[in-house]
């Protein structure tokens, strides 16, 4: 019998193929790890960072395999301390590098902008010295806002200012012989805030108004951004009219209509600001809402690890690239505004600027004035501003929850039916969810540890009950929500209105965009609570403030909010229940996390007291006025500072 012709036994076959079986097993494990890692790193608007935004996110560090019965993992470090330390180093370097003399400030200006400072720069410097202004060099945002208009001759700038002032919801602040007046030429809408922003801007010029030359400023009367210029018209000036002498209608191709009606949307106008070969320009965008039933947290995959929600934004979503990720626009209400944008290059001063818009940023009148709805420390009875708000609560006595109250604003209704995905509605649905869908919550175990963390799979209904106190207080345009007021109240928690001071009773304050920016942000910073901010807007102070130093940035998906809380405050009771732990409340607090949360609260308060004062707003407007005066002039060289 020839051995090669013998039929091998079963055991022989197993021994012969043992090496192949081992290799196959190793390969299978690596494929599974790679698949899960890849799945965690590919984020959508609903589950984390968007493609192309990797530099704005800190992923979870490598996590060792779980012990199945307790899901305990050991990590080298938590991402949040690293984010805080890097941000603090960045801010210290920026603050410490500010010019300390007029000569140094002039040198820095020339270095950054390749030209001389504007005329009056020395007087502006004296103003800054007198009032101890800290940020004297950080005006890159302002210069970027003005750059397109510096390409136009002074005569053309003046003409466009006058023309845009004739459009609805644009006020003109006119400076003549050292005094200022506000003019509303076209009174087309009844608005409770008509000219409020213009009057606020005028007030900010009070201390230096007499030194300014005659000029006009067009100020947006609305919260929404106004100016959207198609990409081709910005890159190739020969494709558009550069001479507006025939009037605004010749620039816009016909009469300007104040609202969209049925012939367009903000998104359709906005996506034309993108490069022609971008996804947004090539996209066919449906006018029908396709996700209005997505009102709850997602049911988690049983195989998902803590990395799914364990991402933390380095900054807010104001850098979101909607040109390459057009689907993300469905999640922001400002793309559905009712008010028609201006599609030619006209200068408009607005309190905030989203990506793609060409509005010129100015400080908000909410930040400058004193009102009971927007001002920390305002005593509306005695009409005086107090350094400490009467309703302020010491840190150790604050309620350990995440707090938000507001109206169902956030966007218009063009096209209708998309309001369920607006930014406020999405957060309220997340915070109102009382279902048994689960979230992975990762927290220190023991609470004093900085390297050992436990992950618990927690029913989101219990989780929200433990840590969330968020509610709408007013239904605005309820009929725009699919199903009307009944559906709106079914899908979101509603509560009573509260005074602004009620916020100070809570450790964490969510700050969300409304129709535009949030007017309460500086008040939140002034308190001893921690602002958690999600926004797609940049404001005048964007160059002056630092995420993870003065506030916690939150992604537009919001889903890391539970792990933010778990790091700073420790395990919520529902997370301990999920692990069958009976650890009492006082022993579950993360001592390190609590210290870091208090550090952010104090840093935010210090920023408001030293960099976000009304004096600092005035310094910003003063600098803007000097740049504007040079831009306004025919002979701009004559408006240079030569000292």
- Summarize pLDDT for 466-491 with one digit per residue, the tens: 999 999 999 998 988 999 999 999 99
In a domain, 467, yes or no: yes
pLDDT at 58 over 80: no
Confidence of residue 453 (pLDDT cuts 50, 70, 90): confident
In a domain, 232, yes or no: yes
The pLDDT of residue 234? 87
Lowest model confidence (mean pLDDT) among 280-294, 383-397, 454-468: 280-294
Mean pLDDT of 599-607: 98
Give the tens place of pLDDT for each residue, 72-106.
555 667 899 999 999 999 999 999 999 999 999 99
Report whether 160 contacts 152 (CB < 8 A): yes
In a domain, 603, yes or no: yes
In a domain, 112, yes or no: no
Residues 353 and 454 in one domain: no
pTM: 0.86
331 or 55: which leads in pLDDT: 331
The pLDDT of residue 586? 67
Residues 165 and 264 in one domain: yes
pLDDT at 50 over 70: no
Cα separation, 393 vs 140, whole angstroms: 37
In a domain, 330, yes or no: no
Residues 413 and 516 in one domain: yes
In a domain, 32, yes or no: no
Residues 390 and 356 in one domain: no
Measure Cα distances from 386 to 370, 526, 569 in Å. 11, 11, 30
Measure Cα distances from 80 to 56, 87, 528, 552, 602 in Å. 14, 11, 20, 10, 17
Look at residues 309, 331, 361 and tell me which one is the last residue of a structural domain.
361
Residues 353 and 475 in one domain: no
Coil, strand or helix: which one is 592? helix
> Of 189, 199, 139, which Cα lies nearest the Cα of 365?
199
> Of 165, 213, 164, 160, which Cα lies nearest the Cα of 185?
165
The pLDDT of residue 288? 56
> Of 571, 567, 572, which Cα lies nearest the Cα of 593?
567
Lowest model confidence (mean pLDDT) among 294-308, 352-366, 433-447, 579-593: 294-308
Look at residues 361, 392, 420 and tell me which one is the last residue of a structural domain.
361
Residues 387 and 525 in one domain: yes
Q: How many domains does the chain have?
A: 2
The pLDDT of residue 62? 39
Measure Cα distances from 308 to 26, 235, 373, 438, 555 in Å. 25, 40, 37, 12, 14
Q: H helices within 445-560, ranges in order?
A: 460-467, 484-491, 521-526
Give the tens place of pLDDT for each residue, 365-420.
999 999 999 999 999 888 999 999 999 999 999 999 999 999 999 999 999 889 99
Lowest model confidence (mean pLDDT) among 116-125, 149-158, 438-447, 538-547: 438-447
Contacts of 87 (CB under 8 A, 6+ apart): 314, 546, 547, 548, 549
The pLDDT of residue 376? 97
189 or 439: which leads in pLDDT: 439
Mean pLDDT of 345-354: 96
Residues 354 and 400 in one domain: no
> Of 233, 206, 202, 231, which Cα lies nearest the Cα of 219?
202
Two tokens at 518?
A: 């949030």
The pLDDT of residue 581? 75
Confidence of residue 360 (pLDDT cuts 50, 70, 90): very high
Residues 350 and 408 in one domain: no
Cα separation, 471 vs 525, whole angstroms: 21
The dihedral built from the CA positions of residue 329, 330, 336 and 340, taken in this order, carries a sign that is positive
Residue pointed to by tokens 């300007």: 256
Range of the domain at 357: 138-291+339-361
Two tokens at 428?
A: 């309220």
The pLDDT of residue 317? 80
CATH number at 505 reads 3.40.50
Cα 542 from chain centre: 10
Coil, strand or helix: which one is 547? strand
In a domain, 158, yes or no: yes
Residues found in the chain: 643
Residues 355 and 406 in one domain: no
What is the Rg, in whole angstroms, of the alpha carbon atoms belonging to the chain? 28
Based on DSSP, count helices (H) and strands (E) in the chain, helices before strands. 21, 17
Report whether 168 contacts 189 (CB < 8 A): yes
Mean pLDDT of 558-579: 92
The pLDDT of residue 517? 94
Q: H helices within 42-120, ranges in order?
A: 79-96, 102-113
């Amino acid at each position: 019998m020839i051995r090669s012709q013998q039929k091998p036994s079963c055991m022989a076959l197993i021994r012969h193929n043992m090496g192949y079986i081992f290799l196959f097993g190793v390969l299978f494990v690596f494929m599974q790890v790679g698949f899960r890692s890849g799945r965690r790193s590919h984020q959508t608007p609903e589950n984390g960072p968007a493609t192309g935004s990797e530099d704005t996110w800190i992923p979870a560090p490598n996590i060792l395999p779980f012990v199945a019965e307790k899901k305990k993992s050991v990590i080298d470090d938590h991402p949040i301390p690293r984010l805080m330390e890097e941000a603090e180093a960045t801010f210290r370097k920026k603050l410490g590098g500010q010019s300390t003399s007029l000569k140094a400030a002039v040198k820095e200006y020339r270095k950054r902008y390749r030209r001389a400072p504007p005329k009056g720069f020395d007087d502006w410097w004296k103003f800054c010295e007198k009032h101890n202004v800290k940020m004297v060099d950080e005006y890159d945002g302002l210069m970027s806002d003005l750059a397109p208009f510096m390409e136009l001759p002074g005569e053309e700038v003046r003409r466009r200012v006058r023309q845009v002032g004739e459009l609805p919801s644009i006020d003109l602040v006119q400076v003549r012989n050292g005094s200022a007046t506000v003019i509303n030429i076209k009174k087309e809408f009844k608005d409770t805030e008509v000219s409020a922003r213009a009057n606020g801007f005028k007030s900010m010029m009070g201390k230096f108004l007499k030194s300014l030359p005659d000029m006009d400023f067009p100020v947006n009367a609305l919260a929404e951004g106004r100016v959207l210029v198609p990409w081709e018209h910005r890159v190739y000036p020969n494709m558009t009219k550069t001479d507006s002498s025939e009037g605004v209608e010749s620039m816009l191709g016909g009469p300007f209509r104040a609202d969209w009606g049925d012939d367009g949307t903000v998104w359709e106008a906005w996506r034309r600001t993108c490069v022609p070969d971008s996804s947004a320009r090539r996209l066919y965008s449906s006018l029908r809402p396709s996700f209005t039933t997505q009102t709850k947290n997602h049911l988690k995959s049983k195989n998902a690890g803590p990395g799914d929600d364990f991402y933390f934004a380095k900054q807010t979503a104001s850098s979101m690239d909607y040109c390459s990720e057009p689907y993300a626009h469905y999640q922001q209400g400002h793309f559905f505004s009712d008010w028609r944008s201006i599609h030619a290059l006209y200068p408009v001063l607005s309190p905030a600027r989203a990506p793609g818009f060409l509005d010129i940023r100015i400080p908000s009148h909410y930040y400058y004035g004193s009102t009971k709805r927007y001002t920390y420390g305002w005593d509306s009875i005695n009409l005086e501003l107090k350094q400490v708000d009467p309703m302020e609560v010491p840190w150790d006595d604050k309620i350990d929850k995440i707090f938000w109250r507001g109206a169902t604003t956030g966007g218009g209704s063009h096209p209708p039916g998309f309001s369920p995905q607006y930014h406020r509605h999405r957060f309220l649905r997340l915070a109102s969810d009382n279902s048994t869908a689960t979230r992975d919550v990762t927290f220190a175990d023991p609470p004093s540890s900085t390297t050992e963390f436990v992950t618990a799979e927690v029913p989101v209904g219990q989780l929200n009950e433990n840590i969330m106190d968020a509610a709408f207080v007013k239904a605005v345009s309820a009929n725009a929500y699919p199903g009307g007021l009944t559906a709106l109240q079914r899908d979101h928690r509603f509560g009573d209105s509260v005074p602004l001071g009620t916020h100070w009773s809570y450790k964490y304050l969510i700050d969300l965009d409304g129709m535009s920016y949030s007017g309460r942000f500086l008040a939140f910073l002034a308190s001893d609570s921690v602002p958690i901010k999600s926004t797609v807007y940049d404001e005048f102070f964007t160059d002056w403030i630092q995420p993870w130093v003065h506030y916690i940035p939150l992604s537009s998906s919001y889903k890391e909010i539970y792990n933010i809380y778990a790091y700073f405050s420790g395990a919520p009771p529902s997370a301990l229940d999920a692990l069958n732990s009976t650890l009492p409340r006082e022993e579950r607090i993360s001592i390190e996390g609590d210290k870091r949360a208090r550090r952010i609260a104090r840093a935010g308060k210090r920023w408001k007291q030293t960099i976000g004062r009304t004096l600092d707003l005035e310094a910003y407007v003063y600098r803007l006025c000097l740049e504007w005066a040079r831009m306004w002039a025919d002979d701009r060289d004559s408006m240079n500072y030569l000292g």
